[in-house]
Structure 1
C-alpha cells in the first residue's frame, strides 16, 4: 500500500543535509549552487529537469559519480512519467557502481524498488530491488539506510498478505527511528525525515495488526499516534494516515458515524497527496459505513468512487473488492440490468488483477460472486440484453452451463479426492509442501552444528506431534529449542520450504487428514471439532488451510470418505451372500 506520495522525500532530506553541512563549513560547490535553484520544488515538477540536467552534464565531464547519481535520482523525482522514473533509476544504479561506494549502490537499488512499488505496483520486482539494496547496506555501517530498507521490505510483505513476516521488519525500523529522533544536535531536515520514518513504520504496523484482527494492539497504538501534537501539526499526511486507520477501526467497532467523520478528515491530506491507493480504501469504508446506517444512496456514491479510481489507475486490492459486490446487488434489486452488467464486468476485471497480483490473498477471500460464476453471469446478462427475443434459448444455455459446471465440479472433486487418497496411502512420499530440502546445498550463514541440532529438534517436534499445541508461535518454539527466532525461521524457510506459520499449518492438516482417513470416529466430528483437535483456532482458518493443502474442502473429503466406506461395506455384504 502506498504509504507516502513522495517516495524520494527521505533521499531529498539526505541530499539537503549534505548541502547544509557544506554551507556551514563555507564550502559552496558549484553543484550545491545549482541544486539550490531546484531543491525546494515538489515531486513531478518537470520544470526542474533542465536545471538537474546541468548538474548531470557537469558530473559527467568531471567524472564525479556521486553527483551523477544525485542528478539521476533528482531527475526521477521530478519526472512525471513512471517509465522515465524507471530509466533514471537504472542510470542512478550505473552511476553508483562507477563510484564503487557500497552505500550509494544500496540507495540506488532502493530507489529502483521504490519506483517499482509506488509507480508500477510491481511488488515482486520491488522486493527484489529492496533485498539487493539491503545486502549492500549490510556491508556499510549505515544503520539509517538499513532500517529504511527494513521498512520498505515490511511494506511489501504487508501488502501481499504476509503480515507476521512484515512485522518482523517493521518493528526494528520503528524502534530505530524512534530512538534516533530522541538524539540531540540533529539538523531539522534530517530530524524531519527520521520522524517521518517512525510515523510511517508505525502506520504500517497498524495496517498489519488490522489485517490480523488484533484490535487491542490497534487501540493502544492509535492512541499513541492521534494524540501526538507534533504529528498533527507538522506531519499532515502521516496524521491523515492515522485518522484513516482510526476510521477503519471505528467501523469494525460498529461506530459508523465516528468512522465517517475520521475517514472524511483523513481524505483531505490523502487526496491532496494524490495517494489514490489509500483514497480508494477510504471510499470503500465510507460506503460500507453509510450502508450500515441504511443510507444506500450515499453508500453507492462512495462505492462508485472506488470504481472511478479502478478505471483510472487499474488499482485493486482485496480490501476494496466488496464495493463491487454491493454495487451489483444494489442495481440487481432495482432491476437496472445495464448497471448490474457493467459492475459485474468490472468485478471480473478486478478479480483478474487480484489473482495475478495477490495469489496468496485471493485464494482466501470469501466470494459470493466467484470468478467463474461472474464470467458466466456477465456473459449471460449481456447476451440477454442484446438478444431479448431469444430468452428461451439463453435460459437453456444458462441451465446447460450450470449443469456442466456442477458436473465438472463433481469430477474435479472426485479427482482431487483420489489424488489425496493416493498420497495418504503412499506413506513414504511426503507432500511437496513439507518435504525437507535435504538435497539442497548448505547455504545458510549458521554454524553446521547449530543447524544439525535444529533439524534434529524439528524432526522430534514432528514425530511427537508437538505441533498440535494451540497458540504455538515462532518465538515460543525458538525458546523451547534454546535458540533464537531468526535462526529457527531461516532453517524452517530453507529446509521446510515455507515460513513458520505455513509450516505449522501444514503439519496440523497432514495430521488430521490421516486421522480422518484411518479412523472412522473422526468422520462424525464437526468441522469445529476437527479444527480444535489439530490445534487450529477457528473453523474458517481450518477449512481454508485444509483446502489449500489438500485441494479439497474438509466437508467434501468427509463426504467422499464415507461414500467409500459404505461402498466397501456393500461389496463385503455382497461377497458374503454369494458364498
Structure 2
C-alpha cells in the first residue's frame, strides 16, 4: 500500500539529502529510465551505469539512489530484497543518518509489503527509529511512525495505532495542502501518505467498533481521490472498506459491487494480504445472499494465498472455520481434516508473530518513547524528574506484568482450543481396519505376519491394555506372541513412531479423552490421572501431557472446568 511512495519521493527528500543534480551526469543517467513503470526490469541496462558511476566515485549518496531505483524496478521480490540490502550497506558508508532511515524503512517495507514478514519488518523500522530521533526531516520521521503503527494494528493494539495514524494524517494533510509552493512529486507523496494513513485509521476504527467514524473516513477518502488514476490502489482500499461496512449492514449486493470494483487495482499491486480480505468479504456477501457455492469459491482462494505465502491476517481466521463446517455438512472428512490442519498452521503462525512482536514493540518502541519523554522533562527540576522516573518504572513494570499475564492466558486458551479441535477431529475420523501394502525392504516379515501383528495391536489399543504399569516393548512382544525386534519394526513403520512415543501418545490421548467426556476425572489430582493411564511419575505424566497437547494438565483441567461452567452444564 506504499506502492510508489518511496520512489517519487526522491525529488522531494533527496533534493535535501543529495547534492544538486539538475543537469549533472547522474541526472542525465536517471533521465533514461525514470519513466519506466514500477517492476519493469527493462530499466536495468540504464540503472547499472548509474550504480557503476556512483561506485567508482564512492558517492554513497548517489549509490543509495541507484540501489533504491533497483528496488523499485525489480520484478522479483528476491531482487528487491537484494538491492535493499545494498541500500543499507551504502547508507552505512555515508555519514548521512537520513539516508540510513530511508534504507532501513525501505527494506522494512519490502518485508512487510511483499513478504508479510512482520518480525523482520519491525526490526528494520526500529533501526530506522534510532536515527529518526535526531533528524530534521519530518517526512522521514512520520514515515517511520506510520510503519510502526501498521505493526501495532496487526498485533491488535488498535487504540495505540490509531493515535499514530492520526498524527501521520494531520502531518501529511498539512504538507499536501501547504500554501508553500511544493514540487508536484512532493504533493503526490504527501497525498499518498495522507490516504494510506486514512485507510489504516479506518481499519483501526472498524476493529474498535467506531463504525460512524470509519464510514465518515471512507467517504472522505473516496471524495479526495475522485477519479484520479494516480490513486487507483488507494481507491481500491477505500472501496473494500466501504464494502465491509455495507456487508455489516446486510447490504450484500452493494457490498459485492464495491468489492469487485476494487479487485483489479489490488491484484495489480500484488498486495496479497488485502486481496485475501477482499476475497473473504466477497465470500461472506455471497453467503449472506444464500449462494453457498459461490461463497466457498472465494474462501478457497484465501486458502490458496495462504498456501503460497504462509501468511494470514487474524481477522480472516474465520475463513477456515467456515470451510471446516462446510466440509462437515458435505461429509467430506478428507477436506475437513485438511482445513483443520490449515487452521492449526495459521494459528501457529499468528501466535509466533504475537509472541515475538508484542514484547518487542513495548520494549524497543514504547519504552524508548517513554524514556525519551522523561529525558525532555529532566531539565524542569530534579524532584519532578525523580517522580517521573518512578512513574515510568512503575508503568513499565505494570505493562510488562499485564502483558505477560495476557500473553500466558492467551497462549493457554489457544493451546486448549488446539487440543479441543484435535479431539473433535479425532472423534470424526472413522478408522478403517485395513492392512497397508507391505514394503519388504523395510520389514522382514510376510504380509500375513504383519497383518496379524497389526490386528493384535488394534486389539491392544481397543482394550486399553496400554494402561498397564511398567509396560516395556519386551513385555508387549511376549503378550502378542512375537519378538521385540519385529514389534519395533512394525510400530516404527505403521504407527510412525518408536515404541516409547507410541505408548505415550496412546496413554495421553486416552486420559485427554476421559477429561473431555467424563466430568468426574476433572476432580482427580495429577497423580491419580497418571496412574489411570499407566504412568508412574507425576512429573513424567505432566511433561508428556505438555509435549503431546502443548498445555500443562493443570491448565487444561482449569480451562475445561471454565468451559463447562460457561456452557451451564455443571
Per-residue CA shift, 1:421-473, capped at 9, x if unaligned?
A: xxxxxxxxxxxxxxxxxxxxxxxxxxxxxxxxxxxxxxxxxxxxxxxxxxxxx
Q: State the alpha-carbon separation in 2 of the partners of residues 92 and 240 from structure 1.
A: 31
**Structure 1 residues 264 and 354: CA distance shift in structure 2, 3 A:** same
Deviation larger for 375-384 or 358-367? 358-367
Tell me which of 94, 98, 112 is aligned to 1:99: 94
Tell me which of 167, 175, 191 is aligned to 1:172: 167
- TM-score, scaled to structure 2: 0.65
Name the residue aligned to 1:43.
38
Name the residue aligned to 1:149.
144
Q: Is this contact kept in 1: 2:522–2:557, CA < 8 A? A: no
Tell me which of 244, 247, 253 is aligned to 2:249: 253
Name the residue aligned to 2:344.
348
Name the residue aligned to 1:372.
419
Write the mapping of 1:460-475 to structure 2, written as runs, cut at 5 A: none
**Structure 1 residues 337 and 257: CA distance shift in structure 2, 3 A:** same
How far the C-alpha of 1:137 sits from its partner, in A, is: 2.1
Write the mapping of 1:182-193 to structure 2, written as runs, cut at 5 A: 182-184=177-179, 185-193=181-189
Name the residue aligned to 1:65.
60
**Structure 1 residues 29 and 318: CA distance shift in structure 2, 3 A:** same
Q: State the alpha-carbon separation in 1 of the partners of residues 112 and 264 from structure 2.
A: 23
Per-residue CA shift, 1:190-229, capped at 9, x if unaligned?
A: 1111101000000000101111122121122122222335
Structure 1 residue 87 corresponds to structure 2 residue 108: no
Name the residue aligned to 1:280.
276
Name the residue aligned to 1:271.
267
Q: State the alpha-carbon separation in 1 of the partners of residues 214 and 230 from structure 2.
A: 23
Which protein is bigger by CA-based radius of gyration?
A: 2
Write the mapping of 1:33-432 to structure 2, written as runs, cut at 5 A: 33-184=28-179, 185-230=181-226, 233-359=229-355, 363=410, 370-376=417-423, 384=431, 387=434, 403-406=510-513
**Structure 1 residues 229 and 15: CA distance shift in structure 2, 3 A:** closer
Q: Is this contact kept in 2: 1:318–1:365, CA < 8 A? A: no
How far the C-alpha of 1:111 sits from its partner, in A, is: 1.5
Q: Is this contact kept in 2: 1:137–1:145, CA < 8 A? A: yes
**Structure 1 residues 302 and 366: CA distance shift in structure 2, 3 A:** farther
**Structure 1 residues 552 and 42: CA distance shift in structure 2, 3 A:** farther
Q: Which runs of 5+ in 1 are unaligned?
A: 417-548, 560-579
Q: State the alpha-carbon separation in 2 of the partners of residues 404 and 43 from structure 1.
A: 59
How far the C-alpha of 1:107 sits from its partner, in A, is: 1.0
Q: State the alpha-carbon separation in 1 of the partners of residues 412 and 205 from structure 2.
A: 18
Q: Is this contact kept in 2: 1:150–1:173, CA < 8 A? A: yes
- TM-score, scaled to structure 1: 0.64
Q: State the alpha-carbon separation in 1 of the partners of residues 348 and 230 from structure 2.
A: 40
Q: Which runs of 5+ in 2 are unaligned?
A: 359-406, 437-453, 465-504, 527-554, 566-570
Q: Is this contact kept in 1: 2:252–2:286, CA < 8 A? A: yes
Q: State the alpha-carbon separation in 1 of the partners of residues 139 and 227 from structure 2.
A: 21
CA RMSD of aligned residues (A): 3.9
Q: Is this contact kept in 2: 1:157–1:165, CA < 8 A? A: yes
**Structure 1 residues 157 and 365: CA distance shift in structure 2, 3 A:** farther
How far the C-alpha of 1:376 sits from its partner, in A, is: 5.0
Per-residue CA shift, 1:353-412, capped at 9, x if unaligned?
A: 222224579949998993234445556767737949999969959998765225567889
Count of residue correspondences: 421
